[in-house]
């Protein structure tokens, strides 16, 4: 039997959000608030940058001190805007990654600043063809700099980078990164959307991941991993699924991740289109209530 649940980390896209949707369902909203009311720390853990995540969460009725893990672990903050933790990828490494990964797809670097220039890329047309919805949602924050290396000045380090393209090309990009001299100075974290033949290889400071950020946050809160649950659907959730005492994989996750879940003893939730997060939280809350009774 698991110890009482005190912390739950929940991915956004494909987990809290239904497929191709940008609105949290009413059932999921109620479940998040009920978990907070029961004393559970709810953490939203996403690959999105903070400014891209907060607008979707601000109307859910969550407390301002709700922790967010954003940019795949590079930034931790609160829903109210307080910075908890932040790390950076050295600009010198980022410049080297441009040359290595440019042939595989669209390369983007994200900075911890507000407004235009928060994200920098060198070919807006190429990005729009591959990730049009992302471009439109982030257009006010995007700056075009060509060559991209000119935006990566020593002392002005980005928090993360990414390269995006087809699933097969991003697998090749990941192999190229692992075989390169930059491998020891950059962590590659892949996210896949096979139905759209779209994949993103996030470029993180060494060791940084959602799992790393969750472990640091739990330590600050004095919460043990055995009292922690993580819910996710993709490979960038792997670190937190492995670290948490209770790992939950969505039914819409990639087949390989669902197979790994079985081997790891993680449970499976209904899909994001079926309010899988709410199903899991409702069950956890019911068990807590029964234990108190």
Q: Which domains does the chain have, with CATH numbers?
A: 7-86+208-292 (3.40.50.1000), 91-204 (3.30.1240.10)
pLDDT, tens digit (0-9, with 9 covering 90-100), for 146-197? 999 999 999 999 999 999 999 999 999 999 999 999 999 998 988 888 888 9
pTM to 2 decimal places: 0.90
Model confidence at 102, in pLDDT bands (50, 70, 90)? Answer: very high
Task: Identify the CA nearest to 89 among candidates 203, 202, 190.
Answer: 203
Cα→Cα distances 284→2, 38, 250, Å = 11, 11, 16
Per residue in 131-155, pLDDT (tens digit) is 888 888 888 999 999 999 999 999 9
Q: Decide if pLDDT at 2 tops 80.
A: no
Please give the average per-residue pLDDT across 198-210, as a whole number. 93
Q: What is the pLDDT of residue 145?
A: 96
Q: Is the pLDDT of residue 247 over 70?
A: yes
Residue whose token pair is 């096979």: 194
Percentage above 90 pLDDT, the chain:
82
């Amino acid at each position: 039997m698991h110890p009482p649940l005190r912390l739950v980390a929940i991915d956004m896209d494909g987990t809290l959000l239904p497929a191709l949707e940008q609105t949290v369902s009413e059932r999921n909203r109620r479940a998040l608030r009920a978990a907070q009311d029961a004393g559970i720390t709810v953490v939203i853990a996403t690959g999105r940058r903070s400014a891209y995540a907060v607008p979707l969460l601000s109307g859910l009725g969550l407390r301002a001190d709700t922790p967010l893990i954003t940019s795949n672990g590079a930034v931790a903050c609160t829903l109210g805007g307080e910075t908890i933790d932040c790390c950076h990828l050295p600009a010198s490494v980022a410049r080297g990654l441009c040359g290595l990964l440019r042939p595989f797809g669209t390369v983007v670097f994200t900075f911890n600043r507000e407004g235009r220039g928060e994200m920098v890329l060198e070919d807006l047309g190429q990005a729009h063809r591959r990730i049009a919805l992302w471009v439109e949602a982030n257009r006010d924050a995007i700056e075009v700099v060509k060559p991209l290396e000119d935006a990566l000045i020593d002392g002005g380090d980005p928090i993360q980078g990414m390269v995006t393209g087809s699933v097969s090309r991003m697998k090749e990009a990941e192999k190229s990164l692992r075989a390169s001299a930059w491998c020891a100075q950059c962590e590659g974290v892949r996210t896949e959307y096979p139905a759209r033949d779209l994949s993103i290889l996030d470029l993180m400071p060494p060791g940084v991941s959602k799992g790393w950020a969750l472990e640091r946050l739990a330590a600050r809160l004095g919460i043990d991993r055995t009292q922690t649950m993580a819910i996710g659907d993709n490979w960038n959730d792997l670190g937190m699924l492995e670290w948490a005492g209770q790992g939950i994989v969505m039914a819409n996750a990639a087949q390989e991740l669902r197979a790994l879940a079985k081997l790891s003893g993680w449970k499976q939730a209904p899909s994001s289109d079926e309010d899988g997060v709410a199903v899991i939280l409702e069950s956890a809350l019911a068990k807590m209530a029964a234990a108190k009774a």
